[in-house]
Protein backbone atom coordinates (compact mmCIF):
# COMPACT_ATOMS: atom_id res chain seq x y z
CA UNK A 1 0.00 0.00 0.00
CA UNK A 2 1.53 3.33 -1.05
CA UNK A 3 1.34 6.48 1.07
CA UNK A 4 -1.60 8.00 -0.81
CA UNK A 5 -3.62 4.76 -0.64
CA UNK A 6 -2.88 4.50 3.05
CA UNK A 7 -4.03 8.07 3.74
CA UNK A 8 -7.23 7.50 1.76
CA UNK A 9 -7.99 4.49 3.99
CA UNK A 10 -6.69 6.01 7.22
CA UNK A 11 -9.88 5.50 9.23
CA UNK A 12 -10.33 1.96 7.94
CA UNK A 13 -6.73 1.10 8.81
CA UNK A 14 -7.07 2.26 12.43
CA UNK A 15 -10.53 0.77 12.85
CA UNK A 16 -8.91 -2.64 12.36
CA UNK A 17 -6.89 -2.09 15.52
CA UNK A 18 -10.12 -2.15 17.52
CA UNK A 19 -11.97 -4.95 15.73
CA UNK A 20 -10.47 -7.57 18.05
CA UNK A 21 -11.94 -5.95 21.16
CA UNK A 22 -14.89 -8.24 21.78
CA UNK A 23 -17.93 -7.67 24.03
CA UNK A 24 -16.52 -10.30 26.41
CA UNK A 25 -13.31 -8.30 26.74
CA UNK A 26 -15.22 -5.14 27.64
CA UNK A 27 -17.13 -7.05 30.32
CA UNK A 28 -13.83 -7.68 32.11
CA UNK A 29 -13.48 -4.34 33.91
CA UNK A 30 -10.03 -5.16 35.27
CA UNK A 31 -8.68 -6.00 31.82
CA UNK A 32 -10.10 -2.81 30.33
CA UNK A 33 -8.74 -0.61 33.13
CA UNK A 34 -5.32 -2.28 32.90
CA UNK A 35 -5.23 -1.72 29.13
CA UNK A 36 -6.20 1.94 29.48
CA UNK A 37 -3.70 2.51 32.30
CA UNK A 38 -0.85 0.97 30.26
CA UNK A 39 -1.65 3.10 27.22
CA UNK A 40 -1.92 6.40 29.09
CA UNK A 41 0.76 5.81 31.74
CA UNK A 42 3.66 7.80 30.27
CA UNK A 43 1.41 10.64 29.09
CA UNK A 44 -0.08 11.06 32.56
CA UNK A 45 3.41 10.92 34.10
CA UNK A 46 4.53 13.62 31.67
CA UNK A 47 1.51 15.81 32.40
CA UNK A 48 1.79 15.46 36.18
CA UNK A 49 5.53 16.23 36.12
CA UNK A 50 4.88 19.30 33.97
CA UNK A 51 1.93 20.35 36.13
CA UNK A 52 4.01 20.28 39.32
CA UNK A 53 7.01 22.00 37.76
CA UNK A 54 5.10 24.82 36.08
CA UNK A 55 2.00 25.12 38.32
CA UNK A 56 -0.49 24.16 35.61
CA UNK A 57 -3.37 24.79 35.64
CA UNK A 58 -3.44 27.99 37.65
CA UNK A 59 -7.21 27.85 38.00
CA UNK A 60 -9.53 25.06 39.10
CA UNK A 61 -9.95 22.05 36.78
CA UNK A 62 -13.64 22.89 36.45
CA UNK A 63 -12.54 25.90 34.39
CA UNK A 64 -10.20 23.86 32.15
CA UNK A 65 -11.19 22.87 28.61
CA UNK A 66 -9.17 19.88 27.39
CA UNK A 67 -8.83 18.38 23.90
CA UNK A 68 -7.45 14.83 23.63
CA UNK A 69 -6.03 14.10 20.16
CA UNK A 70 -6.02 10.46 19.05
CA UNK A 71 -7.99 9.54 22.15
CA UNK A 72 -8.40 5.83 21.40
CA UNK A 73 -10.44 4.27 24.21
CA UNK A 74 -10.34 7.59 26.05
CA UNK A 75 -7.87 6.90 28.85
CA UNK A 76 -6.39 10.41 28.90
CA UNK A 77 -9.85 11.92 28.47
CA UNK A 78 -11.08 9.95 31.49
CA UNK A 79 -8.16 11.22 33.59
CA UNK A 80 -8.99 14.89 33.01
CA UNK A 81 -12.75 14.41 33.21
CA UNK A 82 -12.19 12.72 36.57
CA UNK A 83 -10.53 15.93 37.75
CA UNK A 84 -13.55 17.96 36.72
CA UNK A 85 -12.32 19.37 33.40
CA UNK A 86 -14.55 19.80 30.36
CA UNK A 87 -13.09 17.24 27.94
CA UNK A 88 -13.41 16.49 24.24
CA UNK A 89 -11.70 13.45 22.72
CA UNK A 90 -11.19 12.96 18.98
CA UNK A 91 -10.05 9.94 16.99
CA UNK A 92 -10.05 8.88 13.35
CA UNK A 93 -11.51 5.48 14.31
CA UNK A 94 -15.28 5.42 14.66
CA UNK A 95 -14.93 2.15 16.59
CA UNK A 96 -12.55 3.75 19.09
CA UNK A 97 -14.92 6.69 19.58
CA UNK A 98 -17.89 4.37 20.08
CA UNK A 99 -16.02 2.27 22.65
CA UNK A 100 -14.64 5.37 24.41
CA UNK A 101 -18.13 6.84 24.71
CA UNK A 102 -19.52 3.66 26.28
CA UNK A 103 -16.61 3.37 28.70
CA UNK A 104 -17.01 7.00 29.80
CA UNK A 105 -20.73 6.47 30.40
CA UNK A 106 -20.00 3.34 32.45
CA UNK A 107 -17.76 5.46 34.69
CA UNK A 108 -20.32 8.29 34.81
CA UNK A 109 -17.88 10.69 33.16
CA UNK A 110 -19.21 13.49 30.96
CA UNK A 111 -16.89 13.47 27.92
CA UNK A 112 -17.69 14.52 24.36
CA UNK A 113 -16.15 12.29 21.69
CA UNK A 114 -15.87 13.07 17.99
CA UNK A 115 -14.72 11.13 14.93
CA UNK A 116 -12.12 13.34 13.26
CA UNK A 117 -9.24 12.73 10.85
CA UNK A 118 -6.62 15.27 11.91
CA UNK A 119 -4.54 14.65 8.79
CA UNK A 120 -7.24 16.52 6.85
CA UNK A 121 -7.89 20.27 6.74
CA UNK A 122 -10.36 20.67 9.61
CA UNK A 123 -11.98 23.77 11.06
CA UNK A 124 -11.54 24.16 14.80
CA UNK A 125 -14.68 23.71 16.89
CA UNK A 126 -13.67 25.77 19.90
CA UNK A 127 -10.73 27.00 21.95
CA UNK A 128 -9.04 24.76 24.48
CA UNK A 129 -6.79 25.52 27.43
CA UNK A 130 -4.95 22.22 27.09
CA UNK A 131 -4.46 20.10 24.00
CA UNK A 132 -2.71 16.81 24.60
CA UNK A 133 -1.56 14.40 21.91
CA UNK A 134 -2.22 10.78 22.88
CA UNK A 135 0.63 9.43 20.72
CA UNK A 136 -1.03 10.52 17.48
CA UNK A 137 1.48 12.72 15.67
CA UNK A 138 3.99 10.01 14.79
CA UNK A 139 1.10 8.03 13.23
CA UNK A 140 0.59 10.78 10.63
CA UNK A 141 3.22 9.97 8.01
CA UNK A 142 2.35 12.36 5.17
CA UNK A 143 3.82 15.89 5.41
CA UNK A 144 0.60 17.57 4.24
CA UNK A 145 -1.30 15.65 6.88
CA UNK A 146 1.09 16.85 9.56
CA UNK A 147 0.72 20.44 8.35
CA UNK A 148 -3.05 20.08 8.68
CA UNK A 149 -2.60 18.60 12.16
CA UNK A 150 -0.52 21.52 13.42
CA UNK A 151 -2.82 24.05 11.77
CA UNK A 152 -5.74 22.54 13.68
CA UNK A 153 -3.77 22.55 16.95
CA UNK A 154 -2.81 26.21 16.58
CA UNK A 155 -6.34 27.27 15.66
CA UNK A 156 -7.80 25.32 18.60
CA UNK A 157 -5.52 26.66 21.34
CA UNK A 158 -6.79 29.45 23.54
CA UNK A 159 -4.65 32.58 23.87
CA UNK A 160 -2.71 31.15 26.82
CA UNK A 161 -3.38 27.52 25.89
CA UNK A 162 -0.87 24.70 26.33
CA UNK A 163 -0.04 21.94 23.84
CA UNK A 164 1.63 18.79 25.21
CA UNK A 165 3.19 16.18 22.96
CA UNK A 166 4.96 12.88 23.58
CA UNK A 167 6.27 11.34 20.37
CA UNK A 168 8.95 9.14 18.84
CA UNK A 169 12.11 10.68 17.43
CA UNK A 170 14.97 9.18 15.48
CA UNK A 171 18.32 8.40 17.05
CA UNK A 172 21.53 7.25 15.37
CA UNK A 173 21.52 3.73 16.79
CA UNK A 174 17.98 3.04 15.63
CA UNK A 175 17.81 -0.25 13.73
CA UNK A 176 14.80 -1.51 11.78
CA UNK A 177 13.92 -5.21 12.07
CA UNK A 178 13.64 -7.20 8.84
CA UNK A 179 9.90 -6.60 8.41
CA UNK A 180 10.36 -2.81 8.62
CA UNK A 181 12.15 -0.24 6.46
CA UNK A 182 12.70 3.51 6.59
CA UNK A 183 12.85 5.95 3.67
CA UNK A 184 14.82 9.18 3.31
CA UNK A 185 11.89 11.21 4.70
CA UNK A 186 11.97 9.38 8.05
CA UNK A 187 8.84 7.35 7.29
CA UNK A 188 8.93 3.89 8.84
CA UNK A 189 7.20 1.23 6.76
CA UNK A 190 5.82 -2.09 7.87
CA UNK A 191 5.97 -4.07 4.68
CA UNK A 192 4.58 -1.65 2.10
CA UNK A 193 2.40 0.29 4.56
CA UNK A 194 3.62 3.61 6.00
CA UNK A 195 3.56 2.96 9.72
CA UNK A 196 5.15 5.83 11.67
CA UNK A 197 7.04 9.08 11.09
CA UNK A 198 10.23 9.06 13.17
CA UNK A 199 11.90 12.43 12.59
CA UNK A 200 15.15 13.55 14.22
CA UNK A 201 14.59 15.92 17.11
CA UNK A 202 15.88 18.98 15.26
CA UNK A 203 13.44 18.41 12.37
CA UNK A 204 10.56 17.98 14.82
CA UNK A 205 11.51 21.28 16.47
CA UNK A 206 11.62 23.04 13.09
CA UNK A 207 8.26 21.57 12.11
CA UNK A 208 6.59 22.84 15.27
CA UNK A 209 8.17 26.29 15.07
CA UNK A 210 7.12 26.69 11.44
CA UNK A 211 3.52 25.94 12.44
CA UNK A 212 3.37 29.10 14.56
CA UNK A 213 3.86 27.38 17.91
CA UNK A 214 6.60 28.27 20.36
CA UNK A 215 8.27 25.45 22.28
CA UNK A 216 8.51 26.22 25.99
CA UNK A 217 9.72 22.84 27.22
CA UNK A 218 11.59 20.03 25.45
CA UNK A 219 13.08 16.86 26.85
CA UNK A 220 14.58 13.88 25.01
CA UNK A 221 14.37 10.54 26.79
CA UNK A 222 17.16 8.14 25.83
CA UNK A 223 14.70 5.25 25.49
CA UNK A 224 11.32 4.72 23.89
CA UNK A 225 9.23 5.07 27.03
CA UNK A 226 5.95 3.69 25.68
CA UNK A 227 5.04 0.55 23.73
CA UNK A 228 4.32 0.94 20.03
CA UNK A 229 5.63 -2.18 18.31
CA UNK A 230 4.61 -5.67 19.42
CA UNK A 231 7.65 -7.01 17.59
CA UNK A 232 9.96 -4.75 19.60
CA UNK A 233 9.21 -6.09 23.08
CA UNK A 234 12.54 -7.92 23.28
CA UNK A 235 14.41 -5.46 21.06
CA UNK A 236 17.44 -3.66 22.62
CA UNK A 237 16.36 -0.23 23.89
CA UNK A 238 19.41 1.42 22.35
CA UNK A 239 18.17 0.37 18.91
CA UNK A 240 14.67 1.82 19.36
CA UNK A 241 13.59 5.41 18.67
CA UNK A 242 13.93 7.91 21.48
CA UNK A 243 11.04 9.72 23.17
CA UNK A 244 10.55 13.49 22.89
CA UNK A 245 8.36 15.31 25.39
CA UNK A 246 7.53 18.92 24.66
CA UNK A 247 5.21 21.72 25.60
CA UNK A 248 4.31 24.57 23.26
CA UNK A 249 2.12 27.65 23.13
CA UNK A 250 1.02 30.02 20.38
CA UNK A 251 3.93 32.18 19.22
CA UNK A 252 2.85 35.77 19.94
CA UNK A 253 5.81 37.49 18.31
Q: Is the predicted pLDDT of residue 8 greater than 70, yes or no?
A: no
CATH number at residue 140: 3.40.50.150
Phi/psi of residue 14, nearest 5 degrees? -80, -20
CA terminus-to-terminus distance, the chain:
42
**Total domain count, the chain:** 1
**Tell me: the pLDDT tens digits for 65-112?**
999 999 999 999 999 999 999 999 999 999 999 999 999 999 999 999
Give the structural domain span for 114: 3-250
Query: Helix, strand, coil shares of the chain as percentages rounded to 5?
Result: 40, 25, 35
**pLDDT confidence of residue 187:** 95
**Tell me: the pLDDT tens digits for 114-155?**
999 999 999 999 999 999 999 999 999 999 999 999 999 999
Which residue from 177, 179, 217, 182 is spatially nearest to 200, judged by alpha carbons? Answer: 182
| Average pLDDT score over residue span 40-52 | 96
Amino acid sequence: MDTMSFMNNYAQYYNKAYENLTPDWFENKQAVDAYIELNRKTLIEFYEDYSKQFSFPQNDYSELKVLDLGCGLGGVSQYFAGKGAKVTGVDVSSLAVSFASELAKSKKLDIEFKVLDLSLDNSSFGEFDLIIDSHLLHCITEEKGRENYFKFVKNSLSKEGLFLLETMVFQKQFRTPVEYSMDEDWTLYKGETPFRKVKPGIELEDEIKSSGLEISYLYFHAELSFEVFDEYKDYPHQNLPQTARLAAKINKS
